[in-house]
């Protein structure tokens, strides 16, 4: 920079004072341990940078949030890395802040006249925790949704003011689209404002600490800090590259999801489980916070109490570590949790696969809830299970559909149609069982019927043999096998195929199906899409 430009800027901007502020005095001189503050600031800058990039794509609403994060992960160039850095960066900020505070505490850097530097450093804790809590929800996936569900539940459990506080936090009585816009505003506008203010005040308080003849931050300390920052950033990149943060399935208020908070809350959760309330939830963490805030006065310069201060700093850190280890080992040993985890991973994988074909504008949660096999299963439970049993659950007025259209099920019907498992409880009891002397034809007949449904592969020779037997045994006396041929029993052309099932479900008492004796209600209240989902589900009942 030319001297003239420098002078020009200095006159208008106070450049000299600004550069001085960036090169503060360092009482005690450079030390490797003193990199913690600089590394923390660098981690925060990384969060701001990656966060600003992410905000260009993010759309905070229950219908769009998941999709916009999916878009970042899977369509934006390097988006997955960006999100990985931001997510792991959040953990890095927590670690850096923790290490920095312990370092300051053990160095007794809270003593007069540095009380405010210490207190403002502690004030970073609620701000950073706020960033974590609000950011976790933003993807609106199962992980964030349920963790926030619990977090706001904990807020709501506070005596007297709890429900009001939780309602204000959530923007309503439950997690909703207003929660997302609120959390997004907090995460990107309010909390950065608070962070800036605390850092600015901290910086100012630090600059006011008298340090006569102390060496300056640059170049020695600055170089050390830069080296530590470079190592930290390299570690973050490695982490983000090696282990994708990923996205879980879209938030679903139904279903069973076992929530877990982000790792840094795990010790607090363990404390809550181990120590009865309100000791575990409020009193113990509150006491630790109060003790740390009071350190400048508990361990002052004229009458130091080093041992007490060290105990007050190190015991909570030790407890935090032990509780964390307990929490993680408990989860590893918890079979229910591991099962729920595996199910959640499966949902996530399915949702990501389905998202490749486009995410419904009405909300990403429809990816799974409108996924035909699952949708069909729910429709079956709501509309069919009253009379039809599947896997031991449901009514017995209609045929049991466990293994429906599978070879065993088809054989059973041909062998004994009037068994209670098949049509025994219905009015449709006209069919004669296959006489025992023809039971050798069962596999062939079954294969022939199975071929009608088009499900799976069939043995062509056996199908042909079955077709011959169908005519030989005069099944065609009652069952039409040509399209549209109505005789006495259901027409078997394409029996069990999507077209056959759709026609049957629309008109179960029609003359191509089970005639007017059939008591099964039609499906007039189901849409075409719902019917298609139901048929997909029914097809899934046959063993592969």
Sites of contact with another protein (CB under 8 A): 62-63, 146, 149-150, 152-154, 156-159, 162-164, 167-168, 170-174, 176-178, 252-259, 269, 272-273, 276-277, 336-337, 340, 362-363, 369, 381-382, 385-387, 392-395
Max CA pair span of the chain: 112
Smallest distance from another protein to CB 327, Å: 11
User: Quick one: tokens of 452?
Assistant: 């009608």
User: ∠ at Cα 368 (61, 364), nearest 5°?
Assistant: 20
Pick from 25, 8, 268, 6: nearest CA to 125? 268
Contacts of residue 26, Cβ cutoff 8 Å, sequence gap at least 6: 34, 211, 214, 215, 216, 217, 221
Smallest distance from another protein to CB 398, Å: 11
Contact predicate 153/173, CB 8 Å: no
Smallest distance from another protein to CB 356, Å: 24
Q: Pick the closer one to another protein by CB: 379 or 414.
A: 379
Contact predicate 441/484, CB 8 Å: no
Smallest distance from another protein to CB 86, Å: 26
Smallest distance from another protein to CB 288, Å: 20
Q: Pick the closer one to another protein by CB: 205 or 249.
A: 249
Q: Pick the closer one to another protein by CB: 23 or 176.
A: 176
Q: Pick the closer one to another protein by CB: 98 or 171.
A: 171
Q: Pick the closer one to another protein by CB: 77 or 524.
A: 524
CA distance 407 to 443: 8
Smallest distance from another protein to CB 278, Å: 10
CA distance 378 to 531: 12
Cα–Cα distances in angstroms (integers) from residue 33 to residues 101, 110, 219, in the given order: 12, 16, 16
Quickly list DSSP for 304-330: --HHHHHHHHHHHHHHHHHHHHHHHHH
Q: Pick the closer one to another protein by CB: 111 or 269.
A: 269
Contacts of residue 492, Cβ cutoff 8 Å, sequence gap at least 6: 449, 452, 475, 479, 480, 481
Residue 120 CB coordination number (10 Å) = 19
Contacts of residue 298, Cβ cutoff 8 Å, sequence gap at least 6: 291, 305, 308, 309, 312
Smallest distance from another protein to CB 286, Å: 17
Cα–Cα distances in angstroms (integers) from residue 414 to residues 285, 441, 443, in the given order: 70, 10, 10
Smallest distance from another protein to CB 340, Å: 7
Q: Pick the closer one to another protein by CB: 102 or 330.
A: 330
Q: Pick the closer one to another protein by CB: 157 or 497.
A: 157
Q: Pick the closer one to another protein by CB: 161 or 294.
A: 161
Q: At how many degrees (to 10) do helices 528-539 and 372-383 cross? A: 100
Smallest distance from another protein to CB 157, Å: 3
Contacts of residue 283, Cβ cutoff 8 Å, sequence gap at least 6: none
Smallest distance from another protein to CB 361, Å: 11
User: Quick one: tokens of 465?
Assistant: 């043999």
Smallest distance from another protein to CB 346, Å: 17
Q: Pick the closer one to another protein by CB: 263 or 297.
A: 263
Pick from 364, 401, 370, 369: nearest CA to 385? 401
CA distance 485 to 505: 18
Smallest distance from another protein to CB 258, Å: 4
Q: Pick the closer one to another protein by CB: 276 or 358.
A: 276
Find the distance separating the first CA and the last CA of the chain, reported in whole Å: 75
Q: Pick the closer one to another protein by CB: 306 or 386.
A: 386
* Preceding peptide of 219 cis, ω within 30°: yes
């Amino acid at each position: 920079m030319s001297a003239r430009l420098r002078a020009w800027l200095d006159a208008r901007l106070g450049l000299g004072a600004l550069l001085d502020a960036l090169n503060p005095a360092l009482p005690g001189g450079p030390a490797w341990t003193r990199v913690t503050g600089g590394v923390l600031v660098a981690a925060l800058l990384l969060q701001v940078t990656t966060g600003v990039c992410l905000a260009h794509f993010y759309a905070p609403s229950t219908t769009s949030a998941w999709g916009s994060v999916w878009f970042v992960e899977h369509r934006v160039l390097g988006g997955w890395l960006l999100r990985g850095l931001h997510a792991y960066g959040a953990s890095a900020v927590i670690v850096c802040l923790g290490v920095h505070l312990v370092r300051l505490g053990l160095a007794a850097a809270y003593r007069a006249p540095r009380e405010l530097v210490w207190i403002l450093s502690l004030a970073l804790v609620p701000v950073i925790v706020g960033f974590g809590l609000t950011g976790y929800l933003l993807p609106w996936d199962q992980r964030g949704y349920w963790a926030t569900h619990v977090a706001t539940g904990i807020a709501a459990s506070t005596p007297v003011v709890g429900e009001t506080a939780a309602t204000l936090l959530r923007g309503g009585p439950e997690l909703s689209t207003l929660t997302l816009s609120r959390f997004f505003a907090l995460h990107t506008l309010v909390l950065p404002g608070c962070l800036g203010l605390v850092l600015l005040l901290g910086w100012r308080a630090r600059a006011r600490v008298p340090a006569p003849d102390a060496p300056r931050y640059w170049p020695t300390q600055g170089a050390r800090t830069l080296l530590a920052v470079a190592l930290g950033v390299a570690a973050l990149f490695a982490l983000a590259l090696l282990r994708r943060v990923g996205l879980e399935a879209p938030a679903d208020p139904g279903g069973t999801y076992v929530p877990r908070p982000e790792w840094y809350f795990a010790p607090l959760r363990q404390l809550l489980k181990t120590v009865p309330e309100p000791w575990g939830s409020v009193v113990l963490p509150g006491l630790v916070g109060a003790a740390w805030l009071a350190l400048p006065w508990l361990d002052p310069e004229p009458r130091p109490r080093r041992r007490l201060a060290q105990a007050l700093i190190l015991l909570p850190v030790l407890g935090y570590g032990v509780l964390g280890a307990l929490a993680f080992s408990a989860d590893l040993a918890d079979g229910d949790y591991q099962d729920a985890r595996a199910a959640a991973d499966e949902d996530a994988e399915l949702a990501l696969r389905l998202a490749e074909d486009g995410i419904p504008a009405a909300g990403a949660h429809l990816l799974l809830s409108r996924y035909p096999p699952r949708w069909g299963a729910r429709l079956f439970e709501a509309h069919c299970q009253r009379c039809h049993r599947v896997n031991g659950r449901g009514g017995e007025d209609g045929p049991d559909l466990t293994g429906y259209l599978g070879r065993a099920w088809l054989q059973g019907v041909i062998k004994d149609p009037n068994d209670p498992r098949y049509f025994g409880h219905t009015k449709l009891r006209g069919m004669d069982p296959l006489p025992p002397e023809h039971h050798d034809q069962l596999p062939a007949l079954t294969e022939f019927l199975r071929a009608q449904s088009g499900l799976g592969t069939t043995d062509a020779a056996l199908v042909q043999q079955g077709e011959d037997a169908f005519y030989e045994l005069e099944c065609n006396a009652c069952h039409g096998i040509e399209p549209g041929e109505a005789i006495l029993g259901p027409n078997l052309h394409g029996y069990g195929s999507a077209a056959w099932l759709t026609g049957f479900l629309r008109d179960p008492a029609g003359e191509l199906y089970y005639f007017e004796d059939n008591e099964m209600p039609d499906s007039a209240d189901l849409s075409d899409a719902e019917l298609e989902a139901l048929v997909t589900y029914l097809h899934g009942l046959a063993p592969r």
